[in-house]
Amino acid sequence: MMTVLSGPWTMYILWVLSTNGPTRFGVLKRLIEGISTKVLTERLRMLEQEGILFRHYEPTVPPQVTYGLTERAKELVEILDQLNELAQRWYGDSAT
């Protein structure tokens, strides 16, 4: 689990999805400033393989791919929220 979560951008991707709900790839790319398409794709695939994210594909023109949190991930987000609260107590506004 720690290997999965410690990967680059992983925690931020989870935070964005927990804040915004199911989100299309292009929107995720815009919301996560500085992430490359390659890295975002790799992270999303890895999180999907781990059962943390779901991927919904709509065969439209152009295709629509939406990513969201699974029930497993929602449990994980509860823990991440607790870590965020701790960081806020320790570091205040500079923790976000």
Closest CA to 13 of 65, 39, 1, 71: 39
Phi, psi at 62, each rounded to 5°: -70, 160
Phi, psi at 34, each rounded to 5°: 95, -10
pLDDT tier at 39 (50, 70, 90 boundaries)? very high
Q: What is the pTM of this model?
A: 0.84
Domain regions of the chain by residue span = 2-89
Q: How far apart (Å, rounded) are the C-alpha atoms in residues 73 and 83?
A: 15
What pLDDT was estimated at residue 6? 83
CATH architecture of structural domain 2-89: Orthogonal Bundle (1.10)
DSSP state letter for 93: G
